[in-house]
Amino acid sequence: MTDTAALPSAPLPSASLPRPHSPALPLPLPHSPRRVAVFGAGYIGLVTGACFAELGHRVVVRDIQPERIDLLRSGDVPFFEPGLGDLILRNKERLSFTLDVHEAVRDAEVVYVCVDTPPTASGDADLSRVWAVVDALKDTASHLVAVVVKSTVPVGTGDRVRVALDEAGLHHVGYASNPEFTAEGSAVDDFLRPDRVVIGAFDEATARWVEGLYAGVDGPVETMDVASAEMVKLAANALLATKITFINEIATVCEATGADIEHVARAIGRDHRLGPYFLNAGLGYGGSCFPKDSRALRAMASNSGYPFQLLNAVIEVNELQPRRAIQRLKSELGGLRGRRVALLGLTFKPGTDDMREAPSAVIASRLLAEGAEVTCWDPMARPGPVQPWSSTTRHDTVDDAVSDADAAVLVTEWPELVDVDWPAAARRMRHPLFFDGRNLLESTAMLDAGFTYMSVGRATRHR
C-alpha cells in the first residue's frame, strides 16, 4: 500500500449535496498496530473491540454500565457469543475496558461508535447515544485521526456528525461510516472473514486509513460515499427480511392448497439467481436488527414523503406470522382456555441467548391472553421477571416442559431438540399435539412417535 502523501485529495463518488469540510491530506496509513477506542460494550462493540485486538491493534472499550465493565474486567462476557470469550482472553494484553471517556480517548487514534440506536415511538432511530459520544469527543479528541460510526444510523447522519465535528474545531478528524454485518451466533467469524467490509467516507484518505485497520481480514473492501454506506446496512437487512417474509407468505398458500413448502423452497433455492439462503419458512424474523432496521428504513422513507409499501407489507406479515400459529393451535384444540402449552425455545435464533424481538414473546403473550397455561424450555435464554415470562413456568428439560401439556410448540430450532426421545415425550403429554414452528423435525418420525404433527407451510398430519 502506498503512502497517502502521494495520493490526490479526492472525494469519494456521491450523488448527494456538496460535502461538509473534509480533512486535508496527508493522513498516516495504519501500516502498524493502531490505538482504537470503542464506545459501546454490547454485541457489536465487544466483537469489534475483540476482533481489532486480534488483528494486533491496542483497544480500549468504553461503556456506561459499571456492572458490565466489572464483568469484562473479571474475564466474563455479559452475553453468549461463540468464540468471543476466548478471543477476549487471548488478547487481554491489548484489550482493556473502562467507564471513563478520557481514559478511552486519551491515546486513541480512532474512535469507533458502536452504541445502540433503538427505535423511537415513530419508528425513527434514537441517535441520542451517538450524539453523546460525539459530544464527549469535543474536549478530548484533538489528536484523533478519525471517528467511525459502526452503529446503524439513518442516511444523512454522517453529514450531521461531520458538521458537529467541524463546529467543535475537529476539522482535522476524518469521518467514516463502517456498518456492521455480523450475525449473532457467528459474529466473530463474520468480522474476521466477512462477505465484504463497507467503508463510506467524505474523502479517499480517511477511507484508506480505515481500510488499513482491517489488514489481515479475509474479505473484500467496498469503499463509497457516506450516505451510500449508511444505506447499505438498512437495505441489506430489509431485503433479507423481505425474503423471509416472502417464503412465509408462500408457506401460507401451501397450507391452503396442499403443497409442501419444504419441496417448494428447496427447488426455488436451486435457482442461481435466487439462492437457498433465508428461504426457511417459520414463525417470522426477530432479533435486534431485522425488525428495528426495517422500521427505521420505513420511517426514513415516510419522512421523505415516500410510502414504502413493500416494506409496510413485510413488517405486517412478519408481525402476523406467530399469531397465525396460535390460530392454528386454537382450531386444532377447539380452544385454548385451560390448555397447557409448552414452548420449546425462547431466543430469536439458536446459538445465542438474545430474546430481543423473539417470536416466543408474542406467542406466549397470545397464549396467556387466550387463557392457556404456558411452560417453557430453552438451553440459554434467561428471561427476567417481566411479562409474559413472569406468568410462565420455566423447566430445565424438554421432558419436564411437555409433561401433561396439551400441545408443544417448537419456537427456536435448537439442535438439542433433534435428539429428544420424542416417543417418551408424547407419552408424557395429555394431548400429543406438536407444532413445529421451524420445520426442524421429520413429519413421519413425529407421527410414528405418537404426535399429531403441525408445521409451517404444510397440512396438519394426524396420527
Q: Is the pLDDT confidence value at 6 over 60?
A: no
Residue 392 to residues 372, 374, 379, 396: CA-CA distances in angstroms? 10, 5, 16, 13
pLDDT at site 242 = 94
213 and 296, same domain (yes or no): no
321 and 218, same domain (yes or no): no
Instruction: Please identify, among 206, 224, 242, the residue that sits at the C-terminal boundary of a domain.
Output: 224
pTM value is 0.84
Domain with residue 321: its CATH number is 3.40.50.720
332 and 188, same domain (yes or no): no
445 and 311, same domain (yes or no): yes
Average pLDDT over residues 214-242: 94
199 and 302, same domain (yes or no): no
Domain that includes residue 48, residue range: 34-224
What percentage of the chain has pLDDT greater than the value 90?
77
Instruction: Please identify, among 209, 224, 239, the residue that sits at the C-terminal boundary of a domain.
Output: 224
- The band of 417, judged by pLDDT with boundaries at 50, 70 and 90, is very high
pLDDT at site 291 = 82
- The band of 24, judged by pLDDT with boundaries at 50, 70 and 90, is very low
66 and 194, same domain (yes or no): yes
The catalytic residues are: 289
- The band of 125, judged by pLDDT with boundaries at 50, 70 and 90, is confident
320 and 399, same domain (yes or no): yes
In a domain, 308, yes or no: yes
pLDDT at site 364 = 96
59 and 162, same domain (yes or no): yes
Average pLDDT along the chain: 90
408 or 297: which carries more pLDDT confidence?
Answer: 408
Quick: pLDDT tens for 225-235. Answer: 999 999 999 99
73 and 208, same domain (yes or no): yes
Q: Is the pLDDT confidence value at 8 over 70?
A: no
Q: Is the pLDDT confidence value at 283 over 60?
A: yes
pLDDT at site 241 = 93
In a domain, 336, yes or no: yes
Q: Is the pLDDT confidence value at 278 over 50?
A: yes
In a domain, 248, yes or no: no
In a domain, 176, yes or no: yes
Instruction: Please identify, among 185, 209, 224, the residue that sits at the C-terminal boundary of a domain.
Output: 224
57 or 290: which carries more pLDDT confidence?
Answer: 57
302 and 436, same domain (yes or no): yes
In a domain, 408, yes or no: yes
Domain count, the chain: 2
In a domain, 26, yes or no: no
In a domain, 282, yes or no: no
Average pLDDT over residues 297-317: 88
pLDDT at site 112 = 98
294 and 413, same domain (yes or no): yes
In a domain, 70, yes or no: yes
66 and 205, same domain (yes or no): yes
